[in-house]
Structure formats: C-alpha cells, structure tokens
Amino acid sequence: MALTISIDHKAADKVREFAELQNMDQFGLRVGVKGGGCSGLTYVLDIEEGPRDDDKIIEEHGVRVFVDKKSYVFLAGTVLEYDDGLNGKGFEFKNPNAKSTCGCGTSFSV
Amino acid sequence: MHDTLITAPTYIYVPEPSYGLLEIHGPDAEDLLHRLSTNDIMQLDVGGSITTVFANPKGRIIDRVRIAKTHHAIYLYTSPDAAPIIKKWLDSYTFMEDVTVIDITEKKQTLEVMGARADDILNKLNAIHEISPNEYNQFHGMTPNETRSFPLCDSIQENTLVITRTDDPIYPCYLVQVQSSYVDKFLAAELPNTQWLSPSERDALRIYAGIPKAPNEINLKTNPLEIGLRTDISFNKGCYIGQEVILRLDTYKKVKRHLVKVSLGAGTTPLVGSDIVIKGSTLSSGRLTSIAEKIDGGFEGLALIKSGVRDYDQDFEIHQPGVKLQTYLYPIETSK
C-alpha cells in the first residue's frame, strides 16, 4: 500500500474546473476527514487558496492536495477518483483504511 | 420513597460520585457535538439545554449527557466517571475543528435542588454566592431545559453560578453548577424544610420516574431506543455516529427489548441482573437492571424485557436462586 494520497486525472481536471468557476488563480484541494456520519468518520473536500501550517502537500496532475496531519493517518493510501457517467457518483474515495462504509458512501470506519 | 414527596417540599442531592462536567469552547463546538450525538444540537440556543446520546457506529451507548449553553461556554454533564471517556471521544474526532474540551469535574460541583419549594433554596444559594443584586432574582420563572449563568460579585470569569432546569427526576428540578470551594458554605447553611437525599434515595426517585442511568441501563450493550431515550434522538437532523443502525431499528421496528418499570413483592432483595421469567416458566423474558426498596414494602425496579413478551397483563417472577417474587410490568410514562 502506497503511504500517500493520490488523485486521478479526471478528478484533477474537475478540481481545476471548480477552481475556475470560483475565479481562483492559486488553489489546492483540501482533503481530510471529520468526525460524524453513520460510521464515525466523514470525508471532507474543499478548494482552498493555500495550505495551512503543518499540512502535508502532495502534487499530482498539476493539482496540489492539502491534508492535515491527523486526517492523513486515516487517508494514507487513498486514491481520489472522479466518476462522471450518467450513474456516476462524482468524487469517490478509494480508501484502503476503511473497514466499512455507510450506505451513502461518504462515511467510513477504520 | 416517592410517597414522601407529598410531605417534603424540597430535596437537595449532592451526587456521589459527582456527575462529570466538561467545558467546551470554540466556534465549531456545536457542529462537532451535532455530528457526534443523536439530538439536534444546532437548534440549541444560548440559555438552553438538551439531552443527547453519544453512540458508537453500532448504535450502542457510550453515554447520555445534558448539554447546557451559556454565553461563556457549552457545558456537558456526563454520567459519573464518564467525563474522561467523552473528552477522549470528542478529542479523537476533532481534526481541523476549532474546539477545546476541558474536564472541569474536579473544579466544579453539581448539586440538584428539586421539589415544590426549590425556588426558596435557590434564593438561599444565590445569597451564599453573593450574586450581585440585579442578578439576584433572575432564576425565577425558569422554564424546563432553560439555563442561566450568574456572574458572582468577585467578577472572576470562572466564578459563575450556572443553573439548568432539568425536571429530572421530579418536577421541578434544577441542576446547579458551583465552584467546589463554595459547596461547604452551602452545606453549612440553614435550609428549613429541606431533605438531603442519599444516593439510594435519589436512585429510588430515578427509578420511579423511569429514567435510565449508567451503567445499569446506559452502557455499550444498549441502544437509546431500547431504554426509552427516543426524545434524545432527532430523526431528521441527518448523519451522526450510529444513525444508520438507530434509524433502521426504528423504521423496521426491530427494537428487540424495551425498558419497563417493574413492581415486585416483599422478600429478599432481588439482584440487579437477575432474569425475569413468565410465571411458571424458566425461559428468560428479560433482565432486572435497577432496583429500589419501596417504603410500603416490596420493591420497584427497571427491567429490559424482550419485545415479544412485553405484556402488562402477564404475571412474571424473578428467576434467582432462593428468591421467588411476584413481578408485574408497567410502562414508563415519560420518555425521558
């Protein structure tokens, strides 16, 4: 298992698209987790101008990904994909640390 | 015990062991509590309080707490000894949120003042605390679940008297949070027509009111629907830890046992944990979870009874070696 977080090409393109809609020149994708959701932890996705202190920064397909250190523990090895078909789910986390996920897929437990 | 309520106008109880008390600060505090517990914390305004349940992803109970909100902070009253557990639970789920949780159980003491003349006792308490005159009578007319804080004359921020009306276990009941150093003054004051409750007397009131407590009914083997905490659950607030299981149990009516009141005949004190069986049977229908002696003889208790055999017209008995007590089931009228 790779101990990093990666983002696929489609997801990176979509992040850029959202940043353009918000007229952001400087941006990165905030990826994290927060407490809550049926299974205990919920994924967080946001577009931010820059990293915060102590963030881990990963760059792939021209997009910077910001992850706080505590979230990183639960996300190491995760691949962020984007599924855009008619039945697509949008952004999708493939997280090898998740032992179970709730019905809607946004919440997981480790 | 409850029969004496008719004659005694006021009761005071100093919890032993003390209720746990957490003080929470930060702009993300409500949101965090909302995501981690069963009730709708986002609806809680300054000056209010609400009861809610922290459950694990399987819907089992970690603790039931009362959350009171003042201008200064959010306070969480936990079961005795549960403050470190809840603090650890909150800390483990705090990632990027701006939230600080402080365990102030040792610094503050919580008292309960209850009964028809509770207002008089609160007046006395306020006088002892030298509350400034314009604040003096502000607790009058408090409504259920209301919380008020009273800065004391020495104007030190942390010397604040916080009063929450809970009406739990009797009406009216006030939960009073004071500096531990002030408690001795209060205990030494002359308080006419007041009865100090012992832990067993307080527990008898709780059982009479049908309120679950830790660890008897509130523990990692029960879920909030089983033990009558339906009003602690918001069914339309969205996701929280344990929601999927709790909602499924409710929607598909899969709650397998329910908390009921039991009345038992006089005899040897039955043990908590004893099986309750249908009279003449040896098959367990449930389990006794709390027990208190009635002043007129016999016992009153709480029991978790399997849903399929919860028949209030059926005769039951305690199934315990050397003890044979006729047992009747009663529904719990309040849903606290």
Shortest CB distance from B35 goes to which of A36, A52, A100?
A36
Determine the average pLDDT of the residues in A4-25. Answer: 93
Looking at residue B138, its pLDDT comes to 63
Of residues B196 and B69, more confidently modeled: B69
Looking at residue A1, its pLDDT comes to 55
Partner residues linked to B17 by β-bridges: none
Contact residues on chain A for B243, CB-CB shorter than 8 A:
38
- State the nearest Cα–Cα gap between A6 and chain B, in angstroms: 20
Of residues B161 and B175, more confidently modeled: B175
Tens-digit pLDDT profile for residues B80-102: 999 999 999 999 999 989 999 99
Shortest CB distance from A35 goes to which of B32, B242, B244?
B32
- Nearest one of B193, B197, B165, B265 to B1, comparing CA atoms: B197
Q: With 60 as the cut, is the pLDDT of residue B49 above it?
A: yes
Tens-digit pLDDT profile for residues B264-310: 988 888 999 999 999 988 899 999 999 999 888 889 999 999 998 88
Q: With 90 as the cut, is the pLDDT of residue B29 above it?
A: yes
Looking at residue B124, its pLDDT comes to 74
Chain B, nearest residue to A34 by Cα:
B95
Partner residues linked to B37 by β-bridges: B54
Are B298 and B264 in contact by the 8 Å Cβ rule? The answer is yes
Q: With 80 as the cut, is the pLDDT of residue B7 above it?
A: no
Determine the average pLDDT of the residues in A27-48. Answer: 92
Contact residues on chain B for A110, CB-CB shorter than 8 A:
none
Residues of chain B contacting A, Cβ within 8 Å: 32, 34-36, 56-57, 92-97, 239-245
A49 Cβ contact partners less than 8 Å away, ≥ 6 residues apart: A24, A26, A27, A28
Q: How many CB atoms lie within 10 A of CB A49?
A: 11
Determine the average pLDDT of the residues in B236-249. Answer: 93
Model confidence band, residue B119 (pLDDT cutoffs 50, 70, 90): confident
Looking at residue B233, its pLDDT comes to 98
Model confidence band, residue B139 (pLDDT cutoffs 50, 70, 90): low
Model confidence band, residue B158 (pLDDT cutoffs 50, 70, 90): low
- Top residue of B32, B239, B243, B245 to mutate, by most chain A CBs within 10 Å, is B239
Chain B, nearest residue to A103 by Cα:
B244
Looking at residue B4, its pLDDT comes to 46
Q: Are strands B316-319 and B299-306 parallel, antiparallel or unpaired?
A: unpaired
Model confidence band, residue B5 (pLDDT cutoffs 50, 70, 90): very low
Unique residue bearing structure tokens 């709790």: B246
Beta-carbon separation of A36 and B57 below 8 A: no
Determine the average pLDDT of the residues in B35-60. Answer: 96
Are B13 and B84 in contact by the 8 Å Cβ rule? The answer is no
Looking at residue B99, its pLDDT comes to 97
Is the Cβ of A101 closer than 8 Å to some Cβ of chain B?
no
Looking at residue B20, its pLDDT comes to 97
- Nearest one of B232, B46, B266, B73 to B160, comparing CA atoms: B73
- Encoded amino acid at B49, one letter: S
- Nearest one of B222, B322, B332, B219 to B271, comparing CA atoms: B322
Least trusted range by pLDDT, from A74-83, A100-109, B22-31:
A100-109
Work out the angle at residue B74's Cα, subtended by the Cα atoms of residues B227 and B334, and round it to the nearest 5 degrees.
25
Shortest CB distance from A38 goes to which of B96, B97, B244?
B244
Determine the average pLDDT of the residues in B112-118. Answer: 88
Helix, strand, coil in percent for chain B, rounding step 5? 20, 30, 45
Looking at residue B130, its pLDDT comes to 64
Q: What is the 3-state secondary structure (H, E, C) of B75-140?
A: EEEECCCCHHHHHHHHHHCCCCCCCEEEECCCCEEEEEEECCCHHHHHHHHHHHCCECHHHCCCCC
- Interface size between A and B, measured as CB pairs under 8 A: 61
Model confidence band, residue B122 (pLDDT cutoffs 50, 70, 90): confident
Chain B, nearest residue to A40 by Cα:
B241
Shortest CB distance from A40 goes to which of B95, B97, B241?
B241
What are the tokens at B321? 């070696």
pTM: 0.90
- Nearest one of B161, B126, B164 to B146, comparing CA atoms: B164
Q: What is the 3-state secondary structure (H, E, C) of B148-191?
A: EEEEECCCCCCCEEEEEECCCCCCCEEEEEEEHHHHHHHHHCCC
Tens-digit pLDDT profile for residues A47-95: 999 999 999 999 999 999 999 999 999 999 999 999 887 777 789 899 9
Q: With 60 as the cut, is the pLDDT of residue B133 above it?
A: no
Strands (E), A38-99: 41-48, 56-60, 63-67, 79-83, 90-94
Cis omega (within 30 of 0) for bond into B17: yes
Shortest CB distance from A68 goes to which of B57, B93, B95?
B95
